[in-house]
Amino acid sequence: MKKILAVDDSASMRQMVGFTLKTAGFDVTEACDGDEALKAAQVGEFDLVISDVNMPVMDGLTLIRNLRTLPAYKFTPLLMLTTESGVDKKHEGRSAGATGWIVKPFNPDQLLATVRKVLG
């Protein structure tokens, strides 16, 4: 079973993402900010990380930058979950090492499609 780490400071988004992915048969771990996610990522090895961008404590871009420095996450798909569809954020995300992004609002089907896409 593929392991996914879902990071969002909003509990409802976390639930929605978590529920959708669990229902689709993924093993989902949730974290509510970058710091928590980074700690979780160091313990468990995830096949995919989906992270919100704007979060307290540690934002999503910093999380992605940090994850890319870990050998285990060098080539792991890391997705940004963001309302900011502006070009700037995407550039920033790419240079931070993000694989891609999912733009809010999205529905469960779109989320699943994207997740299946990056997990092959």
Partner 1 sequence: MEIDLSQFSQVFFEESLEGLESMESELLKLEVNQPDDESINTIFRAAHSIKGGSATFGFTQVADYTHLLETLLDEIRDGRRQMTTDHQDMLLLSVDLLRNMIDALMRKVDFEDPLLAQLETRFTSALAQNSSDSEEEHNSAESSSEESTPRNTTWIIDFQPGIDILRCGNDPSLMFNELRLLGELEVILVDSTLPDFSDMDPEACYLHWQLTLVTDKPLEQIKEVFEWVEDECTINYHQETDTQVKEQVEEVGAPATIETSSSTEVIAKPKAVAPAKTPDGGSIRVSIEKIDLLINMVGELVITQAMLGQIGQQDTIDEESLLSMKQGLEQLASHTRDLQESVMQIRMLPISFAFNRFPRLVRDIGQQLGKQVELILKGEDTELDKTVMEKIVDPMVHLVRNSLDHGLETPEVRVGKGKPEQGSITLNAFHQGGNIIIEIIDDGAGLDTQLIHKKAIDKGLVTEDEELSEDAIHQLIFKAGFSTAEAVSDLSGRGVGMDVVRRNIHELNGTIELKSVKDKGSRFTIRLPLTLAILDGQLVRVGKHTYVVPLVSIHESLQVEEQRINRISESHELIRLREEYLPVVKVFQEFGHEADFQEIRDGLVMVVDSNNEKIGLLVDELLSQQQVVIKSLEDNYSKVPGVSGATILGDGTVALIIDISGLVALAGIANMKEHAA
Please report, as ranges, the residues that interact with partner 1 according to CB under 8 A. Answer: 9-13, 15-16, 19-20, 23-24, 54-56, 68, 74-78, 83, 85-87, 90-91, 94, 97-101, 103-110, 112-113, 117-118, 120
In the complex with partner 1, the residue whose CB is nearer, 16 or 40, is: 16
- What's the closest the beta carbon of residue 113 comes to partner 1, in angstroms? 8
Nearer to partner 1, 27 or 47 (CB): 47
Angle, CA of 22, 25 and 26, to the nearest 5°: 65
Burial state string for 47-75 with b = 16 or more CB within 10 A and e = fewer than 16: bbbbbbbebeebbbbbbbbbbbeeeebee
Closest approach of partner 1 to the CB of residue 21, in Å:
11
Residues ≥6 apart with Cβ < 8 Å to 35: 57, 58
Q: Judged by CB, which is closer to partner 1: 27, or 92?
A: 92
Query: What minimum distance in Å lies between the beta carbon of 1 and partner 1?
Result: 17
Q: In what order do the strands lie in the sheet with 78-82?
A: 27-31, 3-7, 48-52, 78-82, 100-103
CB of 107 to partner 1, least distance (A): 5
